Chain A
Amino acid sequence: MNLDFSQIVPSIPYILQGIAVTLKIVVFAALLGFVFGVILALMKIGGMKVLTWFADAYTSVFRGTPLVLQLVLIYFGIPQLTGFEIDAFPAAVIAFGLNSAAYVSEIIRAGILAVDKGQREAALALGVPYKLMMRDIILPQALKNILPALMNELITLTKESAVVTVIGAMDVMRRAYIVGGQVYRYIEPLLIAGCIYYVLVMLLTLLGKALEGRLRKSD
């Protein structure tokens, strides 16, 4: 073993600054993915053929191709096709968000289908319109059941966000590479990056447990 962190120590704050970049991408992508995922899920179960077809095709494409490919296509493809330059940050948020939506939509669809159909009938019998029924009665119950699966998705997203390195966003991973290049030692900064990701995921796990506890207060 010849690990030597002494040369890396001065650069640790530099790597840590990447957390802000990573988190910003993850938070915005997760929000985009969740909102769009809910919309896709509603399209899938709504019974309008065109919408169902669109949502299924969407899921199929975004699940069926590598995330890093989607990211690169958005980052390099949009400028080439439209002439608009796109920064690494929005490109990352769009790519991760759109990709995540495909997975989230399936999770939410399963959650909605698992809610007892009597809930829907009780709401209908009270004259509750579809939109309110979904928002106030079906989705809250679905979310409670699928929270662990959604947390999984968020954790995956956090870790997978490291692929933004390929489009040059200054996240934790990229900074670890840069520091490695500066001192010709890659293992040490990468181990530090690994620790940072692990701690982030642990924090998310705790957050998820706390949230689940709150949602389960009606049990």
Chain B
Amino acid sequence: MIKVEDLHKSFGKLEVLKGITTTIKQGEVVAVIGPSGSGKSTFLRCLNLLEEPTRGRIWIGDQEITDKKTNIMKVRQHVGMVFQHFHLFPHMTVLENVTYAPIKVKGMTKAEAEAKGIELLKKVGLEQKANEYPSRLSGGQKQRVAIARALAMSPDVMLFDEPTSALDPEMVKEVLEVMKSLAHTGMTMAIVTHEMGFAREVADRVLFLDGGQLVEDAPPHEFFASPKSKRAQEFLEKML
């Protein structure tokens, strides 16, 4: 479960998040959408403190991560993150990418981590690429490895920051499929996305951000069929 209370974030004089309050329940899949510059990526990045909030509080599970006493490195082990540009480690093979953190951070044995890594690579359909370097993979494959790498830490929550925005159109589907099957396993997920079809189909809730504020918070069928705010209506007109 993720609880966010009055979250503010400023970069210098620019206030990107202007007080966001919401809760993401255990097992819920939440799509975060909005125009560019609306603060949706910043919002997501605050959830594992890649950005430090200027004000407000965030809980992951029953731990307040904005509490100064919280060991954020420990928290991050339970919060997986997938980036727009994958950020695989280019000097490690696919399997090494997936097993590095479990071995070095969690203290798993190499054999354990590799067994788990192979199993995860199977899930994303890439076990035959285990010994390749990332430079040999397509964008879609890289992103699926990045998902496997995050899952290898057995996170309680997965954050996706525009996971398909950097992909060629024909590769979007394979990544969305993996995310869809992950959603069906009951993983708690927060997804910043421009894939409206995916949000409608997979998300339990849609958060619409605009100008650093949470403008709408509704189930997808409601949001897409009858957005309440003018800003959401305008946004959807442009997108659909």
**A interface residues (Cβ-Cβ under 8 A, vs B):** 116, 118-119, 121-122, 124-129, 132, 136-137, 140-141, 144, 215, 217-219
Contacts and interface: CB of A to CB of B under 8 A. Distances in A.
Contacts of A217: 133
A136 to B, nearest CB: 7
Interface in B61-77: 73-77
B83 A121 contact: yes
A127 B87 contact: no
16 contacts: A118-B87, A121-B83, A122-B81, A122-B146, A125-B48, A125-B150, A126-B76, A126-B77, A126-B150, A127-B77, A127-B101, A127-B105, A128-B100, A129-B73, A215-B91, A218-B92
A118 B91 contact: no
Contacts of A127: 73-77, 101, 105, 153
B221 interface: no
Contacts of B73: 127-129
A132 B187 CA distance: 28
Contacts of B100: 126, 128, 136
Nearest to A120: B87
Contact of B50 (A116, A124, A132, A140): A124
Contacts of A128: 73, 100-101, 104-105
Contacts of B146: 122
The 8 A-B pairs with the shortest beta carbon distances in the complex, nearest first, are A122-B87, A127-B77, A118-B87, A125-B81, A126-B101, A127-B76, A218-B133, A127-B73
B50 A125 contact: yes
Given A132-B104, A219-B135, A122 B76 contact: no
A35 B6 CA distance: 47
B87 A136 contact: no
Interface residues of B, number: 29
Nearest to A118: B87
A70 to B, nearest CB: 36
Among A118, A126, A136, A219, the most chain B Cβ lie within 10 Å of the Cβ of: A126
Nearest to B90: A218
Interface of B: 48, 50, 73-77, 79-81, 83, 85, 87-92, 100-101, 104-105, 133-135, 146, 149-150, 153
A126 B149 contact: yes
Contacts of A219: 133, 135
A24 B149 CA distance: 45
B105 A126 contact: yes
Contacts of A116: 87
B79 to A, nearest CB: 7
Contacts of B105: 126-129, 132
A218 B77 contact: no
Among A125, A127, A129, A137, the most chain B Cβ lie within 10 Å of the Cβ of: A125
Contacts of B76: 124-127
Nearest to A117: B87
A116 B88 CA distance: 11
A118 B134 CA distance: 15
A218 B101 contact: no
A140 B87 contact: no
Nearest to B81: A125
A218 B48 CA distance: 30
Given A126-B105, A127-B105, A128-B104, A140 B77 contact: no
Contacts of B85: 118
Among A129, A136, A141, the most chain B Cβ lie within 10 Å of the Cβ of: A136
Contacts of A126: 76-77, 100-101, 105, 149-150, 153
Nearest to B93: A218
A116 B146 CA distance: 16
B89 A119 contact: yes
B25 to A, nearest CB: 22
Contacts of B153: 126-127
Contacts of B80: 125
Contacts of B75: 127
